[in-house]
């Protein structure tokens, strides 16, 4: 019998710089930096990306709820309408609960921790999130966001959920947000720079659009709810005056959306400072340390910026409780240096 023709093999050469890179590919590429990486982390991330795409699709239809059915009612497709923040929370929990590497989930919407694969030997990560931040902006068609933070189980955490979850922000292994704005963008860091991906709706993929984002060292805007100014403690009122009157060599303009993700995203790209100081109603600050300030502070530092609670770096605060609040000042290097100088006086 004649020899069968040998199978010919053509070797695929991966382009060194592919023109399109999805978030999934990017996370896998980042993981290759660690010799023992198993790919579990990119699998976990796929739970986040799927959920946020579902949330983005629902946010895009938000204004239609009155004609398609209001919250609690059944819409024309036979679906029970939910409030968007409830939908976002349930979608994230369901999507993440498939991931065997996740032991615990903490959400702004839930008083208690959710055990996912807690107690299983494969459970290595806790995911902490604010499912839909800025929710007062939903009804008026203004940007909202999802914020997330991922923590690894430290040694001896197996039977101690507090030890696992209540870690300082410096221990985050990854963090980021999704901004449901004029486009949907996912911005994340795993400790090797800050990278932004824009959702391409026609193929349903987050594509790398902003690689290695660096916050300008100085920016044009300050961002704060100045309605509370009379109750801000020192040095906040004097600091805002200094910015407005040209203390850094120019006069600042004010931008305030009232959605942390959107206000920070602008600060990240354009520079400047975002503040939520202590107020009379919220003497410990309004924003939450674990799923608002920590992930944003990690991103800010990775992009060359600074984040403080007014006295200490945000990432060094040791949380006492999942829903703990903190004063928050985050932004460019020059604005934060001026803040520190004025706070030290
Ligand atoms: P939320 O989690 O209830 O949406 O509140 C958080 C939001 C942030 O997005 C934003 O920075 C802040 O609250 C705005 O608060 P205020 O309306 O007091 O300016
Ligand atoms: Mg929030």
Average pLDDT by consecutive 10-residue portion of the chain (345 residues)?
A: 75 70 92 77 91 95 64 53 86 94 95 92 94 88 96 85 95 97 97 97 96 97 97 97 90 96 98 98 97 98 98 97 97 98 94
Per-residue confidence (pLDDT) for residue 42, from 0 to 100: 85
Residue 314 burial by CB count (10 A; 0-12/13-18/19+): exposed, middle or buried?
Answer: buried
pLDDT at 69: 46
The number of residues in the chain equals 345
Q: What is the pLDDT of residue 61?
A: 86
Given ligand 1 and candidates 231, 287, 330, which is best to mutate, with the most ligand atoms within 8 Å of its CB? 287
| Residues in Cβ contact with 341 at an 8 Å cutoff, skipping those fewer than 6 apart | none
Report the atom number in ligand 1 closest to the C-alpha of 263: 11
- Residue 283, both tokens: 């003497």
Among 93, 97, 89, residue whose Cα is nearest residue 131? 89
Task: Please tell me if the CB atom of residue 225 comes closer than 6 angstroms to any atom of ligand 1.
Answer: yes
Residue 195 CB-density burial (10 A; 0-12 exposed, 13-18 middle, 19+ buried): buried
Pocket test for ligand 1, best of 133, 226, 228 (most atoms within 8 A of CB): 133
- pLDDT recorded at residue 66: 59
Instruction: Give the CA angle between residues 324, 91, 153 to the nearest 5°.
Output: 50
Q: Which segments within 74-142 are labelled E, that is strand?
A: 102-107, 114-115, 125-133
Give the number of the atom of ligand 1 that is nearest the alpha carbon of residue 279. Answer: 18
């Amino acid at each position: 019998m004649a020899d069968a023709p040998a199978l010919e093999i053509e070797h695929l050469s991966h382009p060194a710089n592919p023109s399109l890179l999805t978030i999934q590919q990017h996370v896998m590429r980042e993981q290759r930096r660690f010799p023992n990486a198993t790919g579990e982390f990119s699998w976990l991330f796929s739970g986040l990306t799927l959920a946020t795409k579902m949330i983005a699709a629902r946010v895009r239809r938000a204004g239609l709820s009155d004609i398609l059915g209001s919250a609690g009612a059944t819409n024309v497709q036979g679906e029970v309408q939910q409030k968007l923040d409830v939908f976002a929370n349930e979608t994230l929990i369901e999507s993440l609960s498939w991931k065997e590497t996740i032991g615990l989930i903490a959400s702004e919407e839930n008083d208690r921790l959710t055990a996912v694969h807690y107690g299983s030997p494969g459970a290595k990560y806790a995911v902490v999130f604010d499912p839909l931040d800025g929710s007062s902006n939903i009804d008026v068609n203004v940007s909202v966001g999802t914020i997330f933070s991922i923590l690894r189980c430290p040694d001896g955490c197996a039977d101690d959920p507090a030890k696992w979850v209540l870690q300082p922000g410096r221990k985050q292994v990854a963090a980021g947000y999704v901004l449901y704005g004029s486009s949907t963008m996912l911005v994340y860091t795993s400790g090797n720079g800050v990278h932004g991906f824009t959702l391409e709706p026609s193929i349903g993929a987050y594509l790398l659009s902003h690689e290695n984002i660096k916050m300008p060292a100085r920016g044009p805007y300050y961002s704060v709810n100045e309605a509370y100014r009379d109750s801000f403690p020192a040095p906040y009122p004097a600091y805002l005056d200094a910015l407005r009157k040209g203390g850094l060599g120019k006069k600042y303009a004010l931008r305030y959306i009232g959605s942390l993700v959107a206000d920070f995203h602008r600060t990240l790209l354009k520079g400047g400072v975002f503040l939520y100081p202590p107020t009379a109603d919220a003497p410990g600050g309004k924003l939450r340390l674990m799923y608002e300030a920590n992930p944003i502070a990690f991103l800010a530092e990775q992009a060359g910026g600074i984040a403080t609670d007014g006295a200490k770096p945000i990432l060094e605060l040791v949380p006492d409780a999942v829903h703990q609040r903190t004063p928050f000042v985050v932004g460019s290097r020059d604005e934060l240096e001026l803040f520190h100088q004025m706070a030290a006086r």
